[in-house]
Structures are given as structure tokens and as C-alpha cells.
Chains A and B, each alone.
Chain A
């Protein structure tokens, strides 16, 4: 009799312990969720603050004259003509250099290479290159393109440097796009007697192209926002002319903005903010195009 009562008591204690424990767990979970939401709110708040800060600082300077004037010692006369033209020029050349090489490498790795030592070596390389700091590419460009190839501090040298920098990203994106093409397409072409290259050229590549372009545009938009490698190869900070050939000196938007932000006068800071707004607009445009391409042309395979 006595023993039975004791068991019940300990059962009650146990139930109560479980209930307490459960309440404690619930509390911990709430704390965790609150922490996560706080972190997300911080991220979003930071985005909003950065964007509104830059807009508030630079909006007044944004006008047609700012876009069509060369830099100047007088902040109110200075503009970003040479900077945005340089940015567009470098970007176009970078794409011309990086896209064929990147797609070629991706096709080789995805379609041709069996898992041999060479493919593994290239793969490890690409993974590692993706983590090499941008400024190291600048040092590489300074030595190889500017000095050894005697390109000087030119648009071409800058484009080659940025092309090497964005190659890993382009290769990874292109490989993903190629991998998304179902094998049945390849098998159908091969069964009809096409060679591997014919299969890739006529069937796989056209289907993978939207994905490849999306990845390339995103890689380019990241490269073009970087000032460090171009400063390192010796791109100028004060350019009062437009580059006419790929061998002319140049400047780009982030470098122009950096030059202005590192001056003490607040008027120049306004100019920097305005230049950064233009840069952001350009990057958003590129991202928009990339997203459009992805949504418009990406196939959903049902096989």
C-alpha cells in the first residue's frame, strides 16, 4: 500500500519535471526564433540604411551634367563621364574575353573530361581560385599584362585582369547550366551518329545558354563593382578624356568614387555618393537582365 503511493508520487514528480522541461524547451525555442528574426531584421535594416544613406547624400548631384562632365578640381563641376564610359568599355571587353574561355572550360569539364587527374586538378584549382582575393588578381595583372605583355595601364590590361578574376564564377555557373540539360538529349543526338562536339554545339549548348548567360552577367556585375584589382594594375584616378582604343588609359566608377570619398571636402563626398548611385543602378540593371533571362528562358524538364 505504502509502496504504491510512493510510486505515484514519483510519477507525479516525473510528470511535473517533464512539464517544466517542456516549458523550458518552449522558452528556448522562442528565444532562438527571436534571435533569428532579430538577425534577419538587422540585415534588412542595414540594407535599407545603406541605400537611403547613399541616396540622401548623392541625390542632389545626380543630373545630366554630372553624367556628361569630366572630373574636375571643383566638386560642383566634376562629373563621371570618363568613369561610366570606362566601366562599360572594360565590362564589354571582359565579357568578350571571359565568356568563350569560361564556357569552353565548362564544356570540357562537364562534357568531355572523364574523371581523370587533369579534370580533378582543374576542379580543385577553380574552387581555390574562387577564394583568391581580388587584389591578388590585380598584382597578377600588373606583372603579367601591364609589364610582361606591355599593355600598359590600359583598358585591355584591366579587362584581362577582370576576366581572369571572374572566370571561376563563370565556369561554375556554366557547368551547372550544362548539367541541367537532361542526358536523354545527349543520348538522342549520339544515337543518330553525331560526334560529341556536334552534340554539344547543336543541342546541349543552345539549351544551356540562358543559364550560362545569367551566370556570366552576375559574375561580370560582381567584377565591375571591384575597384581593388584595377587600382593595383595602375588605372588612373583622374581621367579627363575618353579611352579611344583598348590600349588607352582609363578609369571606372568605383575608382572615381574611391578617389572622391578619400578627399576631405564633403562636396566631393556628395559626388562619390552620386557616382555610387549610378554604379548601383548599373549593377541592378544587370541583375535585372540576368533574372529576366533566367525566368524567361529556363526550361523545366519533365523527364
Chain B
């Protein structure tokens, strides 16, 4: 009798084990399905779009006016707007982030390091609509005092603010990387008579370089994908220009612009946002995968040391 009860308990536990394992696997599968679903939904609509608009026109035409009577479907102005704002952001954030990361990892005492790190990360917690509000209503009027020719919507002021927005990403990732460089490298440089600064710049930073580049790439991907800030402050006017004082439209801002209006399902306009989305997805995918690859390589080299 007792034997039977025991066997039943064990069988129940084993059955439970199998059920739970399947359930948990399904949970893990959700992430894979999400990626697949992103690729499928974007591609299906984009294929529908490219049936009407040939891909070479999409890639080479210099105007983007799908919402006007005279429709033109050249992605270049949107890519240009995206690269302009993200480029300004990177120019602002990379030097600042690397200075902060190097200082925190190599020079700051541990307590100060933790505290300053969390202060920097506060920047990442601010919602992007608030950054947009700040760029449009504070930074732009401020800059207009010095550059009167600047228009209300422009690439410069959201670009600068975007720089501060992605700064925590770059600073935090590269700080982790620099901190992870093994002590033996520092000791070798110091033993050869290097000063602390020489050790930092000639031994530690070169050892961390692939990880730092990865951090910058991930930051750049963030900047390209950021939406509300540029939708509010950069304008919604597709403009093939490299002049940061003019209004531009980014890929993300275009998607918002269409989504705000009432575009019926199945129309060409509806398909454009998925095509633009696909372009954006492919761009960030390349940046992310390169970043992940470089990081992994850094960690692999690290483990060997």
C-alpha cells in the first residue's frame, strides 16, 4: 500500500516535471517567435509595397512624398534625416561617455564610482517625450539666440539632446568593459615604468577597444531607433539635406506621422510604414549584431588571459 502511494507521488512529480519543462520551453520560445513575427510582418507588407514601387526607385529617388497627390517614394531623405540626428548625437555622446567611463573605471574611488554611475543612469530613465519637450521648448530657443537662422524644427537641437539620451548606454557599457580588463595588463604597464595615465591610454583602453566600439555601435543603434524626441523636435518634413539647422524627418518620425493620421489597412500608405520599419530594422540589426559579436570577442579574449 505504502509502496503504491510512494510510486504515485513520484509518478505525479515526474509528470509535473515534464509538463512544466514544456511550459517553460514555450516561454523561452516566445522570444524566438517575436523575432520571427517582426521579420514576417515587416517583410509581408514590404513585399506588397515593392510590387507597386520598384526597389530601385525606393533606394535612388531623392524625394519622399507618399502622403501628397504627387507621390514619390525615395527613402534617401528619411535615411539622411535619421543619420543626421543620430550622427550629431554620436559626436556629442562618444567623447563625453568615454571620458566618464574611463574616469569611473580607472580613477574614481569605488564609492564615488557607484554613485556617479547611478546618476548617469538617471539620464536613461527620463521618458523620451520629456526629452522632446526639452529640445523643442528649451534647447532650440536657446540656440536660436546664437544662430538666428535656425528654424523651429531642426536636426541640431534634438541631435544634441539625443546625444545625452544615449550617453548612459555608451558610458555604462564601456565602463563595464574597461573595468573588466584584467589587472595583469595594468601591472605589466606599471612595471615597465608607465604612469597611471600612460597605463590607461596605452594598455587598458587598447585592450578594451573592441568592447568600447561595441558600446558605441549599440549607442548608435539606440540613436537611430529613437522616436518621440525627433518626432517632436526635428520636424516632419522629409528633407535631403546635411544642414543641421533645417527641419528634417527621420524614419521613426515618419512612422509616427502616418500612425497619427487615419490610414486604412491595405493601402500603399499603410505599407510604407512597414517598408520604412523594415529598413530601420535591418539597419539596427546590423549594428546590434556587430556590437554583440565584438563584445563576445572581447569577453572570449578576456577569458583566455
Contact = CB atoms under 8 A, between A and B. Distances in A.
A binds B: yes
Interface of A: 22, 25, 28-29, 32-33, 35-40, 42-44, 46-47, 49-50, 53-54, 57, 100-105, 107-109, 112-113, 118-119, 121-122, 124-129, 131-140, 142-144, 147, 164, 167-168, 171, 195-198, 221-222, 225-228, 231-234, 237, 254, 257-258, 261-262, 269, 272-273, 276, 279-280, 283, 287
Q: Among the interface residues A124, A226, A232, which one has the most CB atoms of the partner chain B within 10 A?
A: A232
B25 A140 contact: no
A140 B127 contact: no
12 contacts: A43-B164, A46-B164, A53-B134, A118-B28, A125-B32, A128-B288, A132-B281, A138-B255, A140-B38, A228-B231, A258-B228, A276-B130
A29 B195 contact: yes
B240 interface: no
Contacts of A258: 129, 132, 228, 231-232
Given A108-B28, A195-B16, A232-B259, A131 B41 contact: no
B114 to A, nearest CB: 13
A196 B221 contact: no
A118 to B, nearest CB: 8
Interface of B: 13-14, 16-17, 20-21, 23-32, 34-35, 37-38, 41-42, 45, 95-97, 99-100, 102-103, 107, 116, 119-120, 122-123, 125-134, 136-138, 164, 167, 195-198, 218, 221-222, 224-228, 231-232, 252, 255-256, 259-260, 265, 273-274, 277, 280-281, 284-285, 287-289, 291-292
B300 to A, nearest CB: 14
Contacts of A109: 28
B39 to A, nearest CB: 10
Q: What is the interface of chain A mostly: helix, strand, loop, or mixed?
A: helix
Contact of A136 (B32, B116, B277): B277
Contacts of A138: 255, 259
A215 B124 CA distance: 15
B227 A126 contact: no
Nearest to A291: B118
A272 B233 CA distance: 14
Given A140-B41, A231-B260, A262-B232, 12 more contacts: A32-B102, A104-B24, A105-B24, A107-B24, A127-B292, A128-B292, A131-B287, A132-B38, A167-B34, A196-B17, A228-B227, A254-B129
Contacts of A108: 21, 24-25, 27-28
A125 B37 CA distance: 13
B129 A261 contact: yes
Closest 5 CB pairs of A and B: A133-B225, A104-B27, A225-B127, A36-B103, A228-B227
Nearest to A198: B13
A135 B227 contact: yes
A279 B226 contact: no
A237 B27 contact: no
A209 B250 CA distance: 41
Given A25-B195, A135-B255, A167 B30 contact: yes
